């Protein structure tokens, strides 16, 4: 397992990091995001989307659970599992992991389905008003290669 810790000082820097990940993401990849309310998960996903060539502005999918955005070469499946806490039922979301696109899950600890064996874990920790410590953990060779692309 390969790990990188990156500090950002404002939301733009977090989005830039997301943009790098989005631009190098490959089809069927899964990013699992953790971090308290307001940590910056959706903000970072906005950058990921931009890196994928999504033109629409990504907004929080809390009430819809999942939103799909069309990128240049693949789609972004943006899931927010916050409202799924405690739900044991299999909602069939994992079908999406082989959707030919990139799946990003906020509040992945509350995701009720089976998570993939290989994924990129993204944990965003607020360390100040606008300062964040972002821990990237690559689980699987493709994700380790992805981390190498990050500057």
Ligand X SMILES: Nc1ncnc2c1ncn2[C@@H]1O[C@H](COP(=O)(O)OP(=O)(O)OP(=O)(O)O)[C@@H](O)[C@H]1O
Binding site for ligand X (CB under 6 A): 8, 10-11, 13-14, 35, 37-43, 60, 106, 130, 132
DSSP string, the chain: -EEEEEEESSHHHHHHHHHHHHHH--TTEEEEEE--TTSSHHHHHHHHHHHTT--SPP---TTTSEEEEE-SSSEEEEEE-GGGTT--S--SGGGGGGSSSEEEEETGGG--SPPPSSEEEEEEEE-SSS-EEEEEEEESHHHHHHHHT--
Least CB distance from residue 37 to ligand X, whole Å? 4
Report the site for Mg ion in 48-77 (rule: CB under 5 A): 60
Least CB distance from residue 117 to ligand X, whole Å? 25
Least CB distance from residue 9 to ligand X, whole Å? 6
Q: Which residue is nearest to ligand X (CB)?
A: 40
Judged by the rule CB under 5 A, the positions of this chain that interact with Mg ion are 41-42, 60, 106
């Amino acid at each position: 397992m390969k790990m990188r810790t990156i500090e950002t000082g404002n939301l733009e820097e977090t989005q830039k990091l997301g943009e790098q990940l989005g631009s190098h993401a490959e089809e069927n990849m899964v990013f699992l995001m953790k971090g308290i309310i307001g940590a910056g998960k959706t903000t970072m996903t906005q950058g990921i989307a931009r890196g994928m060539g999504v033109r629409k502005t990504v907004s929080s999918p809390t009430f819809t659970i999942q939103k799909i955005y069309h990128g240049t070469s693949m789609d972004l499946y943006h899931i927010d599992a916050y409202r799924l806490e405690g739900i044991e039922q299999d909602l069939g979301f994992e079908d999406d992991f082989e959707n030919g696109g990139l799946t990003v899950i906020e509040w992945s600890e509350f995701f009720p389905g089976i998570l993939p064996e290989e994924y990129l874990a993204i944990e965003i920790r607020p360390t100040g008003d606008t300062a964040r410590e972002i821990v990237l953990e690559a689980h699987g060779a493709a994700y380790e290669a992805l981390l190498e692309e990050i500057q």
